[in-house]
Amino acid sequence: MNLLAFVIISILTLAGAFAAAVLPRLIHAALSLVLAFLGVAAFYFLLGAEFVGLVQILVYVGAVAVLLVFTILLTRREQETHGYGGFNWGGVLVGFGVLAALLWAIFSTSLPSVAGSQTLTVKQVGEVLMADYVWPLEAVGILLTAALIGALILVMEEKPGSPFKKRTSLK
């Protein structure tokens, strides 16, 4: 059962990652990236790391992917056509370079020995976040809210009768 689940999750994750890399429309690529993120979260659940899987879903699927989709939809850029229309070999070269570096790092690092490690529960992590790190957590929330408001102001269209006027120069 574990092997079958691993194979199915692997196929879905790799298909989502491949589609995110090769699809020409940005919105389709971003939605394919969501599938790849969900596949990685499924791997964490399969390995028994439920907290990391939930964080993967909350942070990457819930925040990063949604931010990408909003960015693509708010900027409303037309599909750019490049003059060459061919395959991007530079991206393939960079991809193989990153793969080689990752494989080197994986095979040259020894596994640490674990002697009597205690399991960390989601409740313990939540208690630490809400007791010891509540102010940094609130500061990050305010910063992200300010960034969202700033992004909306940047893409907002000027409409007749609107109290918001678009600035054309800095004076």
86, part of any domain: no
To the question of pTM greater than 0.75 for the whole model, the response is no
85, part of any domain: no
* Closest-CA residue to 54 (of 146, 133, 120): 120
CA distance 64 to 66: 5
30, part of any domain: yes
For the chain (171 residues), the mean pLDDT of every run of 10, in chain order, is 89 92 83 91 89 86 78 64 62 87 90 68 82 87 84 69 58 51
Q: Which residues contact 65 (CB under 8 A, 6 or more apart)?
A: 30, 31, 33, 34, 37
111, part of any domain: no
Give the chain's domain count: 2
**Which amino acid appears at position 145 of this protein?**
T
CATH number of 37's domain: 1.20.120.1200
pLDDT given at position 40: 93
CA distance 4 to 107: 26
pLDDT given at position 113: 66
- One domain, residues 62 and 2: yes
Domain assignment of residue 11, given as a range: 1-77
